[in-house]
Structure 1
């Protein structure tokens, strides 16, 4: 058996494709590439495919990770040559590496995620930077998710404004992405008073535990 880790993008063409559909897309891609997927045990065997983190609908990304198990060991160059042409246009593959079979699941290793949020919010750069500073100065940011109150502040690891060439605002975020402790860009925007403003959210990097 062999465990592979793929790094791939989710482009604008696939931004409204849900998490489960992305899972199915990878299963079909491996079938088209004629690579021998390994299956789980039990009455309803499923292909062993694990995505690191669900990307909300409408978001794009250049850093998605998926682990896939093969029934047989294959040369990585052979795998890459078979997979890249078979992958959907909206899920281009950037890298394929082999991972030890007993390495922890991606969901356990995941610690944080970097995002770039672009918004045409009708406020000045100085006003937005002031809001960011005020937010970071708070020791507690109470929010409600699924009818439960939680503190957003410890989930914000980095938050900064950056100029955009087209005159819109760019906000760079590093948010916690641990199990049961995940920050969401849209909730940070809401805390900044930008919940009513359209935004483009792009995931830049997934940070794993060493």
Structure 2
């Protein structure tokens, strides 16, 4: 049976930015079904839609560049598939682009290890400091992460004209041995700075790219 892999780029914003990764996956599967696309299903005891998702976002982090791959059993022109998905999707989970993958292209979960984030803060961005290490607890075990190993770049912006908020932009690299969540990094930076009333107002993922791409 033919297997046409369609890659869809979509926004995750507004109130739906609060969806967990599991809730997001279910919402996207429902959108594919409502769009009446001829999706493929897995074989075995519990068949389900052949769909793969990009790197998970923490709850509350928005994005303009989220990705999922869905396998179709019949060819549907990419633009038509996109329009069907747009009609079937909520505004806060709106598909922006769709294309078919070529043979050998990596799955969405591993294709783009570098993510760029833009953050709005209640204080000047350069008032925050990156700690040398962060202790996180995962599955009741402590793990020490060194932010310098994950941060590819960091730029401190000026006020953006919206109520005196300030902007911080940075890139994080997800490694095979693990990753550093943007919200965990920012919480640690706020604590490290000791600045009174320092708050993270919003986090948006603005780009995902492979290691080989130029900055």
Q: Same fold (TM over 0.5)?
A: yes
Unpaired stretches in structure 2, ≥5 consecutive residues? 193-197
TM-score w.r.t. length of structure 2: 0.84
Q: 2:135 aligns with which of 115, 139, 144?
A: 144
Cα deviation for residue 148 of structure 1 reads 1.3
CA distance in 2, matches of 1:13, 1:97: 27
TM-score w.r.t. length of structure 1: 0.86
Please say if residues 107 and 179 of structure 1, whose CA atoms lie closer than 8 Å, have aligned partners that are also in contact: no
The equivalent residue for 2:180 is: 183
Deviates more, 1:149-158 or 1:101-110: 101-110
Please state whether the residue corresponding to 2:9 is helix, strand or coil. Answer: strand
- Alignment RMSD, CA only? 2.0
Unpaired stretches in structure 1, ≥5 consecutive residues? none
Kindly report which structure 2 residues correspond to 1:31-42, keeping only aligned pairs within 5 A, or say none.
31-42=33-44
Assess, with a 3 A threshold, how the Cα gap between structure 1 residues 27 and 187 changes in structure 2: closer, same or farther. closer
The equivalent residue for 1:109 is: 111
* Aligned length in residues: 199
Assess, with a 3 A threshold, how the Cα gap between structure 1 residues 58 and 203 changes in structure 2: closer, same or farther. same
CA distance in 1, matches of 2:20, 2:112: 20
Please say if residues 108 and 178 of structure 1, whose CA atoms lie closer than 8 Å, have aligned partners that are also in contact: no
CA distance in 1, matches of 2:155, 2:107: 31
Query: Is residue 172 of structure 2 the alignment partner of residue 172 of structure 1?
Result: no
Assess, with a 3 A threshold, how the Cα gap between structure 1 residues 154 and 82 changes in structure 2: closer, same or farther. same
Please state whether the residue corresponding to 1:95 is helix, strand or coil. Answer: strand
CA distance in 1, matches of 2:34, 2:143: 44
Query: Is residue 204 of structure 2 the alignment partner of residue 202 of structure 1?
Result: yes
CA distance in 1, matches of 2:202, 2:72: 36
The equivalent residue for 1:21 is: 23
